Structure 1
């Protein structure tokens, strides 16, 4: 395989550094989904941990590194999940964590960031505006800027999910991975292409936030002026060049799905799997719904990457007719 920034030895070592509460998340075949989707479906459930998303795997590595370096403070931009995870990992290690988020981020995520002891600064605009503000704070205060997907620890932490997949006894043909900044896709993809190159790595992004998918298809960074999706966790406008380079090596495909399919996927995960998930976590099911013929008679793993959703919005999307 061509080289990426990731390293298998470091990924294996990450397993020994990450709090076990984030490791060995459930992987199970969800037969109740299969009659509707027309294929065998296994769920990798990354919501059964204290921050209800996969992000804790990466922040455990980052917070440990910062502690080793003698750092006492860090700042990050977040759509909500990274901020919660960094706050959790930082609190355990005595780090002063500041999270910059959009004022429009789900209230449940913002409340949880505060509850975990981080300082929260809200900005007008979207995630990329928050990223600019976090960088400015880091420069002004002389503290470490944590950048999701660019910091290799976020990718290699997520890559431990890939190790768990290849170590499982479950044979599968494809993995559907939510695509935002790229940490999850590049991390899991790197491991799969190293140890299970026959498994198809398919990234899924909302049509309303297509920057990384367009960049992957064009093999160059493509930015967008705006985003328009309920999947706030993957709604970036400006892909990071180094992350795109990694993605080009490990991804077999990148697809876009419509908002209606995301909502249908959330509803299906509730009705058939008993799972309350945020929109980003339903992207894999949305892809299955939109292209049943492609996946017919195959065994597909979908990574349910987060469960931090504003319940008022969830009721409007999923529960109300």
Structure 2
């Protein structure tokens, strides 16, 4: 395999830095999903932790290195999950954390960032506007700018998921990975291609936020003017060139799915697996729903990457009645 920015030896070493509560997450075959999907499905569950997503695997590395070698403060732009994770990792190490987010971000995610004692700044516009503001704050205050997917710690932290996958038994045929900025896809993809090269790495993105997928297919950065998807965690418009270069080396395919498939996948995960997930976490199941023939008879792993979701919106999307008082 050609060289990505990631290093497998470093990825193995970071297990001692990441808080164990974020490691060795459940991986299990979910037979209840299989009659509807037509394939063997295993779930890697990245939501049973204090920040309800995989993001702390990366922010644990960022925060630990800041304590040792950097300013005692950091800022990031986030749709919600990275911000929570950085706030959690920073609070445990007495770091000053600022999170910049769009005013339209999921309210539940913003509330949890505040609860973790981070400074929260809201901006008009989308995630790209938040990225610009976070960079300006870092320059002004001389603090660490944490850029998801560009910063190698975020990719190599996510890559520890890949280690746990390839070391598990039985073997699997393909892994379906939500694609946004690319940290999860490049991290897991790097490890899978290095240690289990026969496994197909398939990235999944909403049709309403297709920039990285279009970039992968055209082998150059393709930007979009806007995004239109409920999957806010993967709704970027401007791929990072270095991350795209890594993705081109490790991904076998990148596919787009409809919004209706995302909500259908969320409903399937609730009904058949008992899991309440955010839209980004349902992208893998959505891909199977849209192309059952491709996956028929194969063993597929999907990474359920987050469960930070506004419950009122969730009930609208999934078509369930909210419990009184929720």
TM-score (norm 2): 0.98
**Equivalent in the alignment of 1:230:** 230
Q: Partner residue of 2:188?
A: 188
1:263 corresponding residue in structure 2: 263
Please name the residue that 1:280 is paired with.
280
What are the superposed Cα offsets for residues 28-59 of structure 1, whole Å, 9 maximum, x if unpaired?
00000000000000000000111000000000
- Aligned partners of 1:135, 1:23: CA distance in 2, in Å? 30
Q: Whole-Å Cα distance in 2 between the matches of residues 230 and 124 of structure 1?
A: 18
Aligned ranges 1:76-95 → 2 under 5 Å: 76-95=76-95
Cα shift at 1:320: 3.9
Please state if 1:159 is matched with 2:159.
Answer: yes
Query: CA deviation digits over 1:154-185, x for unaligned, max 9?
Result: 00000000000011112100000000000000
Aligned mates of 1:161, 1:93 — CA distance in 2: 24
- Tell me the distance in 2 between the aligned counterparts of 1:285 and 1:265: 5
Could you report, residue by residue, the CA deviation over 1:165-210 in whole angstroms, capped at 9, with x for unpaired residues? Answer: 0111121000000000000000000000001000000000000000
Q: C-alpha separation between the residues in 1 aligned to 2:249 and 2:237?
A: 21
Q: Which residue of 2 aligns with 1:221?
A: 221
Equivalences for residues 1-321 of structure 1 within 5 A:
1-320=1-320
Q: Please give the secondary structure, in 2, of the residue aligned with 1:97.
A: strand
Cα deviations across residues 230-269 of structure 1 (Å, max 9, x unaligned)?
0000000000000000000000000000000000000000
Displacement after TM superposition at 1:70 (Å):
3.9
The alignment partner of 1:41 has SS state of strand
Note the C-alpha offset of 1:319: 2.9
Which structure 2 segments of 5+ residues have no match? 322-326
Q: CA deviation at 1:151?
A: 0.3
Q: Supply the distance in 2 between the matched residues of 1:126 and 1:269 (Cα, whole angstroms).
A: 28
Q: Secondary structure at the match of 1:93?
A: coil
Number of residue pairs aligned between Structure 1 and Structure 2? 321
Residue by residue over 1:89-146, the C-alpha shift from the partner in whole angstroms, topping out at 9 and shown as x without a partner, is 0000000000000101100000000000000000111111100000011111111100
Cα distance in structure 1, aligned partners of 2:278 and 2:70: 35
Q: Counterpart of 2:92 in 1: which secondary structure?
A: helix
Please give the TM-score of this superposition, normalised by the length of structure 1: 0.99
